[in-house]
């Protein structure tokens, strides 16, 4: 238990320092941030004073050390565009991103589990194959393309749902569907594959011979056994999922970290960008930690090994 926490913590530190360093040097190499802030009609004195206030007149090593120091205290400086400290801005947008991701993820699981089991049980029938075909198609549409299709159908043609922002309660529907579609399709296919594997196992035969109902065997026994490999895949997918969330937020102008970061990119607002990347890194490592702990909860064999 402590070992898992420790190794994740180490990973967190490595990731944050690595990415922070990368961003730090890229920003410094690509040009003088002071010029970008000052604008094209600034005087040399203006630029010099901005350089001084940002600490850019010190040596690169000094700058890097103070950057690391600020990283530890979560101080990324003021956003160039909002003129407010960058980290609180990101934290204010975080709940919206978490809300969207959580709903999308839940949606993917709620649909994919029954769909995958159905496709496995009815593997030879037309309907089972249809589920597989649809999921193959679903896997091939990137989230922002699904977003465009959804907006076109439900906002423009049917006029049922708002096409951007998060004002009405219904606003969550299209972004979460767009974000979850790829996962839904992927998990349907994987659950079917794992499920078919498990169907041949001895414990399924034993359950049948004891007169258990199909539903009991499927949901209580098989589902529990396939949840371990599924979990490890979920852990791997988390990164891609967060990447997808950023783009979906941009498509639907969803007021989360993603929209904030895309605007920061366009305005070359590096403090905001660094704070955003930092927040996402921490989030992904923490989610991976939760996945690790879920293993322990689900599989007593792993629990025994760790203890």
Partner 1 sequence: MQPKMAIGNLFLGSKIASKIAPNGKKSYFLQAGPICLFLLAIASILSFTANLWVAQDPGYQDLISRLKPPFSKVGDLNYYFGTDQLGRDVFSRLIHGGKISFAVGLITATLAMIIGGALGLIAAYFRGWQEAIILRVVDIQTAFPFLIVAIAIVSIVGSGLTTIITTLVIWLWTPFARLAHAKALIVKESEFYKAAISSGRSGFGLVFQHIVPNVVGSMMVVWTFIVAQTIIAESSMSYLGLGVPLSTPTWGSMLSEGRNYLENAWWIALFPAFAIMLTVFCVNVFGDWLSDRIDPQTKKI
Nearest to 185 by CA among 225, 146, 243: 146
- Looking at the Cβ atoms of 32 and 49, the one nearer to partner 1 is 32
Of residues 187-246, those binding partner 1 (CB under 8 A): 192-194, 196-197, 199-200, 205, 235-236, 238-243, 246
Q: In whole angstroms, give the CA distance from residue 273 to residue 127.
A: 47
Span interacting with partner 1, options 90-98, 104-112, 144-152, 292-300, rule CB under 8 A:
144-152
Which of 59/124 has CB closer to partner 1?
A: 124
Q: How far apart are CA 145 and CA 291, in angstroms?
A: 29
Under the binding rule (CB under 8 A), the answer on residue 290 touching partner 1 is no
Q: Which stretch binds partner 1 (CB under 8 A): 42-50, 147-155, 171-179, 212-220?
A: 147-155
- If you ran DSSP here, which 8-state letter would residue 56 be given? T
CA–CA distance, 219 with 202 (Å, rounded to integer) = 16
Residue 11 makes contact with partner 1 by CB under 8 A:
yes
Residue indicated by tokens 């999308």: 104
Residues 6+ apart with CB under 8 A from 232: 291
How far, in Å, CA of 160 to CA of 304, rounded? Answer: 52
Q: Mask: binding to partner 1, 75-114, rule CB under 8 A, as x and -?
A: ----------------------------------------
Q: Which of 13, 65, 68, 136 binds partner 1 (CB under 8 A)?
A: 136
Q: Which of 41, 43, 204, 33 is nearest to 121 (CA)?
A: 204
* Binding residues for partner 1, total number by CB under 8 A: 64
Residue nearer to partner 1 on the CB measure, 49 or 128: 128
* Complete DSSP assignment for 208-236: HHTT--HHIIIIIIIHHHHHHHHHHHHHH
CA–CA dist 64, 60 (Å, integer): 6
Contact residues toward partner 1 (CB under 8 A) are 11, 14-15, 18-19, 22-23, 26-27, 30, 123-124, 129, 132-133, 136-137, 139-142, 144-145, 148-149, 151-152, 155-156, 163, 192-194, 196-197, 199-200, 205, 235-236, 238-243, 246-247, 250-251, 261-262, 265-266, 268, 270, 273, 276-277, 280-281, 284-285, 288
């Amino acid at each position: 238990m402590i070992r898992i926490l420790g190794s994740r913590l180490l990973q967190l530190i490595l990731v944050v320092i690595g990415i922070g360093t990368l961003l730090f040097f890229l920003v410094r190499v690509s040009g003088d941030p002071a010029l970008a802030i000052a604008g094209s009609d600034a005087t040399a004195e203006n630029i010099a004073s901005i350089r001084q206030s940002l600490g850019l007149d010190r040596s690169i090593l000094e700058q890097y050390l103070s950057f690391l120091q600020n990283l530890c205290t979560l101080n990324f400086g003021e956003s160039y565009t909002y003129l407010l400290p960058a980290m609180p801005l990101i934290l204010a947008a975080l709940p919206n991103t978490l809300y969207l991701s959580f709903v999308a993820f839940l949606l993917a699981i709620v649909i994919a589990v029954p769909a995958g089991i159905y496709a496995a049980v009815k593997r030879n029938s037309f309907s089972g194959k249809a589920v597989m075909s649809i999921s193959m198609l679903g896997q091939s549409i990137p989230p922002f393309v699904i977003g465009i299709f959804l907006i076109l159908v439900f906002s423009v043609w049917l006029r049922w749902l708002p096409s951007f922002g998060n004002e009405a309660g219904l606003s969550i529907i299209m972004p979460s569907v767009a974000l979850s579609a790829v996962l839904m399709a992927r998990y349907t296919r994987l659950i079917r594959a794992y499920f078919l594997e498990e169907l041949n196992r001895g414990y399924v035969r034993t359950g049948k011979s004891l007169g258990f109902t199909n539903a009991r065997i499927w949901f209580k026994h098989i589902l529990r056994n396939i949840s371990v490999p599924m979990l490890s895949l979920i852990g791997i997918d988390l990164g891609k999922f967060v990447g997808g969330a950023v783009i979906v937020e941009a498509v639907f102008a969803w007021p989360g970290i993603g929209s904030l970061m895309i605007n920061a990119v366009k305005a070359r607002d590096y403090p905001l960008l660094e704070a955003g990347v930092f927040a996402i890194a921490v989030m992904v490592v923490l989610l991976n930690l939760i996945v690790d702990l879920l293993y322990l909860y689900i599989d007593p064999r792993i629990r025994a090994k760790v203890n």
